[in-house]
Each structure stands twice: as structure tokens, then as C-alpha cells.
Amino acid sequence: WQARWDRAATTPDAVGRKWTHRLIPNLARWLAKPTLVLTYHLTQALSGHGCFRSYLAKRDRAEDSYCGYCMDPDDTAEHTVFACPRWLDDRARLTDILRRPPNAGDVEDILCGPCPADLPDDTESRRRVLAQFAINRREFTAMCESILSTKEADEREEQRTDDRATPGTNDEERSDSPR
């Protein structure tokens, strides 16, 4: 199934799968990882299907693929989670831990943890490595949660503003105008 996983990522129109494959190239590692709770927002970050303008525009649920915060022309999951300057604060804790900003290449290690063969023999060192893995995984999940929940709330707010600005609701506009 590793071959099928590789093939699935290269078929046309597999934008989401391609992204997931980049994050998790080794399916065996993913399947062997310690139990992971896939929250709604973590799933969005890993699948690329969610509150990303690039994805929404392809499904006619957004006018264009521009990021609403920094005007990057392609608001993908990678842009939102790892690049957009709007979420620097949300990445701060993981950036501290890694001593550099996280990127897509970190996700497999962060979520799947160390391969058993790479673990140190010494019990104490092994315990430390596994404890760090647990922290990194928790921080990554928390980062996706905070970025995507804020982004969704902003999106809802924007939707409400758009609804108010549609024709037929001019009364409100008039009453707001200066005397």
C-alpha cells in the first residue's frame, strides 16, 4: 500500500492527497504511530481541505485564492499553517521548541514520533526523547487549533459583514451615515 499511497499523490486533481503525502511520505510510519486524536482542525491542516481560500476557490466557495491577511496569491494549508505572517504568534511556542519556525517537513516526525530503531538504548534518554515527542505533538495540534479556529471565526465575521453589505439592506447604511 505504500506504492498505492505514492501513486494516489501523483494522480491529477489530487491536491489534498498530494499535500498529505508531502506531510506524511511514509505510510508505515503513520500507521505505526502512537494513537493520535485527529481533531477537526488538525484534519483540515493535514488534508488541505478546510478554511483555505485556495481550496474554497476551487469549489466555488470563495471568489479567489488570495490570503485575506497578507495578500499571498495562494492561501493553501501550507501557507496558513507555516507561512502566513498573521499566525506568527500561534507558531511561537513550536518555533521556540524547534529553535526555528516549523515547516511541512517537520510534520511526520512531530506526529509519528521517533522510529523505535532510532530511540536511545538508555532508559532515561529514551524517556526524555518520548516526553519531548509528546510535547511537540501537543504543541503542533494546539497550533493548528488556534490558527484554524481564529481563521474560521474571522471568516464568519466577514460573511456577516458581506451579508449586511448586499443590496436591499441600504437602510442600515443610511442610518450609519454622518449627520
**Binding residues vs Zn ion (CB under 5 A):** 67, 69-70, 72, 84
Q: By C-alpha distance, which of 82, 56, 60, 59 is closest to 70? A: 82
Report in angstroms how near the CB of residue 54 gets to Zn ion at its nearest: 11
Residue 128 CA to its chain's centroid (Å): 27
User: Which residue number, 30 or 69, has a Cβ lying nearer to Zn ion?
Assistant: 69
User: Which residue number, 137 or 151, has a Cβ lying nearer to Zn ion?
Assistant: 151
3-state secondary structure at position 36: coil
Report in angstroms how near the CB of residue 67 gets to Zn ion at its nearest: 3
C-alpha cell at 20: 498529505
Decide if 113 contacts 179 (C-beta within 8 A). no
User: Which residue number, 67 or 144, has a Cβ lying nearer to Zn ion?
Assistant: 67
Alpha carbon dihedral 7, 12, 16, 22, in 10-degree steps, equals 50
Report in angstroms how near the CB of residue 153 gets to Zn ion at its nearest: 16
Distance separating alpha carbons of residues 25 and 105, to the nearest angstrom: 10
Report in angstroms how near the CB of residue 82 gets to Zn ion at its nearest: 11
Residues 6+ apart with CB under 8 A from 160: none
User: Which residue number, 20 or 76, has a Cβ lying nearer to Zn ion?
Assistant: 76
User: Which residue number, 25 or 68, has a Cβ lying nearer to Zn ion?
Assistant: 68
Report in angstroms how near the CB of residue 21 gets to Zn ion at its nearest: 23
C-alpha cell at 101: 519556525
